[in-house]
Amino acid sequence: MTEYPGSCHCKAVNVTFRSTREPRQWALRRCTCSFCIRFGGIYTSDPAGEIVMRSKAALRRYQFGQRTADFLSCATCGVYFGAMTDINGQERAVLNVRVLDGVQLDLEAAQPMDFDEESVELRTARRLRHWTPLVLVSLLA
């Protein structure tokens, strides 16, 4: 498993994406919902990998629509990291690849995705199959 580090602009939140795949093998997705369009999120995940987020500042959480996921950004500088959900006590996430350092990706190749018509049950099952296990570490004193 290879580690890919990243952070927000102010470095208060750091992320490590551990993946079994090389970056050229990552499935890149561009959600077409109104939130993701505004933030320009381009996502990847690896269900066999892991995302570790370490935060020295509060993570801002935002929910909308079906309220089945928290959209995470740094409360200090506002950089958007991606979305997380809790399924049966297991936290899983999809990562905005724009926060990763030094990874060369063809962002134009990101596949547009539309999840507007997806039921909560289908959405939960998809996330359980495809999203990456998440570990959140708060370094707040």
Span 82-117, pLDDT tens digits = 999 999 899 999 999 999 999 999 988 888 887 777
Q: Which domain holds residue 124?
A: 2-138
DSSP structure class, residue 97: G
Q: How many domains does the chain have?
A: 1
Model pLDDT, residue 141: 54
CATH number of the domain that 24 lies in?
A: 2.170.150.70
Name the least confident of 56-65, 71-80, 109-118.
109-118
**CA 20/CA 26 separation, integer angstroms:** 10
Model pLDDT, residue 65: 75
Enumerate residues 6+ apart whose C-beta is below 8 A from 67.
none
* This prediction's pTM: 0.89
* Angstrom distances, CA of residue 55 to CA of 12, 18, 46, 129: 6, 17, 22, 26
Enumerate residues 6+ apart whose C-beta is below 8 A from 103.
4, 23, 97
Span 26-39, pLDDT tens digits = 999 998 888 888 98
Model pLDDT, residue 120: 83
pLDDT exceeds cutoff 90 at 139: no
Instruction: Read off the pLDDT band of 74 (50, 70, 90).
Output: very high
